[in-house]
């Protein structure tokens, strides 16, 4: 794909201004050198105006078309729920705008394919917010594996237990993360997507996946328990169990990578510590600090790529693979 090289300050237009835009993403866009945010679109006028006032962003609108047609906007950040990603991204592609879209990439794998086709035809890049591909603690895991510290990788296993959402949130009329037609699934789509995408980054594409999903607690329409297994093209075998209706005492977020000479353990969310246990040195702990704006390193790679100075590691092609895996795991 031919890249548009800008070699100037990158100007962002933002569609959606919810929780993810408060601290994780947008502040990095206007704080990083060579980057600025010109305009924010949000349907709720009062909240939109409040957002740009607090973040010192000059423009606000209620129609995304204003951002698509703005000649000053170099790239569009889509931070809306997944079901709207496809329509908005394709409109941006037709307007000649690269896009950075929140994860999961879309509500369905079929929609991911449509998005990638539109950007391929337009000859412009599509980036997806799987920012763990650039965080220091996750890059340390990659380094340990690449350096052969745990030998040949054999298996990877994910265990995630979370207690149900609190009553005061559960009974809200709109909680899009557990509405399948909006989110693609439940909290599995929201959280496991990060876990599975990072494994794609480490080991390459998953070629086979199957699983079972079920709604045990009946708190909402989406699945709250998923169990599955998968195989990477390189022969590594993986498994996962996710429960979003567990006891608070069972709370866990742990991924274990087992090799022929050791293993690596880490949490995908929260604690950024990496634990290595090797036949050679025994147990080693690598502490890290999570950046204030957690997407900043990935956003920097986007700025660099648009200026012809590097490449972003999270693309529409890689992100679509994660959607495919998640769909295979919940099919049962």
Q: What is the pLDDT of residues 31-43, one digit of tens each?
A: 999 999 999 999 9
Structure tokens at 201: 């980054």
Give residue 305's pLDDT.
Answer: 97
The domains found in the chain, sorted by start residue, are: 10-131+294-313 (3.40.50.720), 136-290 (3.30.360.10)
Q: How far apart are CA 10 and CA 167, in angstroms?
A: 43
Cβ 326 vs Cβ 185: under 8 Å: yes
Q: What is the pLDDT of residues 164-223, one digit of tens each?
A: 876 555 554 568 999 999 999 999 999 999 999 999 999 999 999 999 999 999 999 999
Integer angstrom CA distances of residue 211 from 127, 154, 208, 233, 245? 28, 20, 11, 18, 18
- What average pLDDT does this structure show over 86-96? 98
Q: Model pTM?
A: 0.94
Give the chain's mean pLDDT: 95
Phi, psi of 229 (to 5 degrees): -135, 155
Q: How far apart are CA 62 and CA 265, in angstroms?
A: 45
């Amino acid at each position: 794909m031919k890249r548009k090289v800008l070699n100037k300050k990158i100007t962002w237009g933002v569609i959606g201004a919810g929780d993810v835009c408060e601290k994780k993403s947008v502040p990095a866009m206007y704080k990083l050198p060579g980057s600025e945010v010109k305009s924010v679109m949000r349907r709720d006028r009062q909240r939109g105006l409040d957002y740009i006032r607090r973040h010192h962003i000059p423009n606000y609108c209620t129609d995304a078309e204003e951002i698509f047609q703005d000649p000053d906007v170099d790239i569009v950040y889509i931070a809306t729920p997944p079901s709207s990603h496809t329509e908005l991204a394709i409109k941006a592609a037709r307007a000649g705008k690269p896009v950075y879209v929140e994860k999961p990439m879309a509500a369905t794998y079929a929609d991911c394919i449509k998005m990638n086709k539109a950007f391929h035809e337009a000859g412009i890049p599509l980036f997806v917010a799987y920012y763990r591909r650039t965080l220091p603690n996750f890059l340390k895991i990659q380094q340990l594996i690449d350096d052969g510290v745990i030998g040949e990788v054999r298996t990877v296993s994910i265990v995630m237990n979370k207690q149900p959402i609190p009553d005061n949130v559960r009974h809200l009329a709109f909680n899009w993360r557990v509405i399948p037609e909006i989110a693609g699934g439940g909290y599995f789509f929201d959280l496991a997507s990060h876990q599975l995408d990072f494994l794609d980054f480490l080991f390459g594409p998953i070629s086979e996946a199957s699983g079972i999903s079920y709604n045990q607690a009946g708190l909402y329409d989406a699945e709250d328990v998923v169990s599955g297994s998968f195989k990477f093209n390189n022969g590594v075998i993986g498994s996962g169990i996710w429960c979003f209706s567990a006891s608070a005492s069972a709370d866990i977020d742990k991924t274990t990578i087992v090799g022929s000479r050791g293993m690596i353990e880490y949490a995908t969310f929260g604690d950024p510590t990496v634990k290595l246990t090797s036949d050679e040195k025994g147990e080693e702990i690598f502490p890290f600090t999570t950046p204030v704006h957690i997407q900043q390193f990935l956003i920097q790679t986007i700025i660099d790529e648009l200026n012809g100075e590097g490449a972003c590691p999270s693309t529409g092609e890689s992100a679509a693979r994660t959607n495919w895996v998640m769909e295979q795991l919940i099919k049962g």
